[in-house]
């Protein structure tokens, strides 16, 4: 009886103490020097004592919320205009208060994918790196680093690096592509740019998809190429990085996503379209925006070890192209000519970052310059040629070199080099030995050469299309 009475007396006391002990806190990414997304209502989340009232004040606005039984709260600020002025956000709950200093309002982008997005400024080509460091004095460009789970084959216990501004050599540890992208956006828009690097070397696309997405879409689960064990299971298996890394940003409002991934799915190219399409849909649900801009790289040229076909990455690039053609509010960034046939981590990241920026400026910020070159379905003409219309431009296509880089397939499945004629934004292709082509391809293979560019510098993406009779 004494034990029973003690439990009755102490249980409410422990519960009360636990409730009182839960301090006021915010989501981890809500911290000093952060950048908030302009032009969108801003849900701010955190924890405090269950059943208590929380008040958030910022930029002349004060909003309130009440914590749920678990102590979670969410208060939503109204849409704000861009501001380069460092301001303080104050959060109060009873006799507790927090201040978040140096807050800017501008454009927030999440950089995701695997090692080529994680690739740091310090590893770029020497001249490009030094040029970036010399001009790296822009406190309105800020960077949040989400710590990975595994590095160098070892499990990590690392903390995130919170928001910091672009100052000299500190950008050496930033994502090269993301920094070049942000630098160009800031130059073009004149507003603060916030970058969140949430990438992981060696990760598969399926690792970033939520368990809920797999549960509701059986075809998604059937598209997974392989289940890994050992240390690889921590960053390659379905959903592991969605839960261990991306979930930290629940409630975050971003303008869009830049994405560089596909290498770890390269051995299963025929399964990539459903996996990658599922990822984009899942992230749009996660960020509560069914039109979330998703700008992604098409893999570069690379001599894939042990690939006897010589085209597994070519097929993966085709899957990425098909995804861009099928899903709205996406853009494809061609990187084939920025690769290194002998290095899966090419150092030539500056043009890649600039092409990401060009795509964003065109798709989201309505710049006049083209952001990507799109392709129509090939059409057989009455003259026996094949015609493809290049979208996103009116003219300005040029051929680099003497060979066209295009091939036409005959009725027996044999590919033949094709002659190319450019008429403004139209490509006309013909091969004397192929009177009735069944397919057309361009720059096909794990390693090849791009030949067609727009005068802006944007290249035509490698592709393979079937031709309907």
Q: What is the largest CA-CA distance in the chain?
A: 99
**pLDDT confidence tier of residue 367, bands split at 50, 70 and 90:** very high
What are 397's two structure tokens? Answer: 């296509």
Within a domain: 117: yes
Domain end residue (candidates: 340, 363, 386): 363
15 φ, ψ to 5°?
-65, -40
At residue 195's C-alpha, the angle toward residues 191 and 196, to 5°, is 150
Cβ contact 375:426 at 8 Å: no
In this structure, the answer to whether residues 175 and 318 fall within a common structural domain is yes
In this structure, the answer to whether residues 93 and 218 fall within a common structural domain is no
**Residue pLDDT, tens place only, 235-275:** 999 999 999 999 999 999 999 999 999 999 999 999 999 99
In this structure, the answer to whether residues 138 and 180 fall within a common structural domain is yes
Domain end residue (candidates: 73, 103, 133): 103
In this structure, the answer to whether residues 87 and 174 fall within a common structural domain is no
In this structure, the answer to whether residues 399 and 290 fall within a common structural domain is no
In this structure, the answer to whether residues 337 and 195 fall within a common structural domain is yes
In this structure, the answer to whether residues 405 and 327 fall within a common structural domain is no
What are 137's two structure tokens? Answer: 């004095």
Within a domain: 14: no
- Strand 406-409 vs strand 415-417: parallel, antiparallel, or unpaired? antiparallel
Within a domain: 15: no
| Domain extent for 299 | 105-363
Domain count for the chain: 3
What are 429's two structure tokens? Answer: 């292709």
In this structure, the answer to whether residues 258 and 342 fall within a common structural domain is yes
pTM of the model: 0.94
In this structure, the answer to whether residues 30 and 159 fall within a common structural domain is no
Domain end residue (candidates: 50, 69, 103): 103
Return the pLDDT at 12.
Answer: 46
Percentage of the chain beyond pLDDT 70 is: 96
CATH number for the domain spanning 280: value is 3.40.50.1110
Within a domain: 187: yes
Q: Of residues 337 and 13, which shows the higher confidence score?
A: 337
Within a domain: 18: no
Return the pLDDT at 128.
Answer: 94
Return the pLDDT at 469.
Answer: 75
Helix (H) or strand (E) holding 282, with range, is helix 272-286
Q: What whole-number distance in Å separates Cα of residue 245 and Cα of residue 147?
A: 8
Q: What whole-number distance in Å separates Cα of residue 269 and Cα of residue 276?
A: 11
Phi-psi region of 382 (alpha: psi -120 to 50; beta: other; left: phi over 0): alpha
Mean pLDDT within 146-159:
95
In this structure, the answer to whether residues 254 and 157 fall within a common structural domain is yes
In this structure, the answer to whether residues 300 and 417 fall within a common structural domain is no
Within a domain: 17: no
Within a domain: 16: no
pLDDT at 34 over 60: yes
CA atoms within 13 A on the CB side of 374: 19
DSSP secondary structure, 101-165, as one string: EEEEEEEEEEEEESHHHH-BGGGS-HHHHHHHHHT-EEEEEEEEEPPPSEETTEE-----EEEEE
Cβ contact 312:269 at 8 Å: yes
- Strand 61-66 vs strand 96-113: parallel, antiparallel, or unpaired? unpaired
Mean pLDDT within 25-49:
98
Percentage of the chain beyond pLDDT 90 is: 93
In this structure, the answer to whether residues 263 and 385 fall within a common structural domain is no
pLDDT at 17 over 60: no
Within a domain: 81: yes
Helical H segments across 287-410, by residue range: 312-326, 350-363
CATH number for the domain spanning 58: value is 2.60.40
pLDDT at 37 over 50: yes
């Amino acid at each position: 009886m004494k034990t029973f009475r003690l439990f009755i007396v102490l249980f409410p006391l422990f519960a009360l103490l636990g409730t009182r002990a839960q301090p006021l806190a915010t989501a981890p990414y809500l911290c000093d020097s952060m950048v908030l997304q302009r032009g969108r209502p801003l849900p701010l989340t955190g924890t405090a004592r269950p059943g208590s009232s929380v008040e958030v004040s910022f930029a002349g606005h004060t909003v309130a919320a009440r914590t749920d039984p678990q102590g979670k709260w969410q208060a939503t600020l109204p849409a704000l205009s861009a501001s380069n002025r460092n301001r303080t956000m104050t959060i109060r709950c009873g006799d507790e208060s927090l201040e978040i200093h140096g807050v800017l309002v501008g454009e927030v982008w999440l950089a995701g994918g695997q090692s080529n997005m994680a690739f740091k400024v310090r590893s770029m080509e020497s001249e490009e790196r030094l040029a970036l460091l010399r001009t790296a004095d822009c406190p309105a460009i800020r960077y949040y680093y989400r710590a990975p789970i595994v590095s160098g084959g070892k499990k990590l216990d690392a903390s995130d690096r919170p928001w910091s501004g672009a100052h000299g050599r500190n950008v050496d540890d930033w994502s090269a592509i993301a920094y070049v992208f942000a630098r160009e956006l800031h130059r073009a828009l004149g507003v603060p740019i916030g970058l969140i690097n949430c990438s992981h070397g060696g990760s598969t696309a399926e690792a970033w998809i939520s368990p809920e997405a797999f549960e509701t879409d059986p075809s998604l689960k059937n598209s997974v190429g392989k289940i890994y064990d050992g240390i690889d299971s921590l960053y390659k298996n379905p959903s592991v990085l969605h839960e261990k890394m991306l979930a930290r940003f629940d409630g975050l409002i971003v303008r869009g996503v830049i994405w560089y991934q596909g290498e770890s799915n390269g051995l299963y190219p025929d399964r990539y379209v459903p996996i990658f399409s599922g990822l984009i849909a899942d992230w749009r649900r996660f960020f509560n925006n069914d039109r979330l801009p998703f700008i992604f790289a098409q893999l570069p040229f690379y001599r894939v070890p042990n690939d006897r076909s010589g085209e597994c990455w070519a097929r993966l690039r085709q899957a990425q192209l098909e995804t861009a053609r099928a899903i709205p509010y996406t853009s494809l960034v061609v990187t084939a000519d920025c690769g290194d046939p002998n290095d899966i981590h090419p150092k030539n990241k500056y043009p890649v970052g600039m092409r990401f920026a060009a795509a964003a400026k065109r798709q989201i910020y309505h710049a006049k310059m083209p952001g990507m070159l799109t392709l129509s379905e090939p059409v057989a003409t009455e003259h026996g040629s094949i015609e493809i219309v290049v979208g996103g431009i009116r003219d300005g296509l040029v051929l680099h070199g003497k060979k066209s880089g295009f091939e036409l397939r005959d009725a027996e499945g044999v590919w033949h080099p094709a002659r190319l004629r450019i008429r403004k934004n139209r490509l006309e292709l013909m091969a004397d030995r192929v009177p009735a082509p069944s397919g057309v391809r361009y720059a096909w293979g794990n390693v090849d050469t791009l030949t067609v560019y727009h005068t802006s510098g944007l290249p035509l993406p490698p592709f393979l299309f079937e031709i309907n009779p």
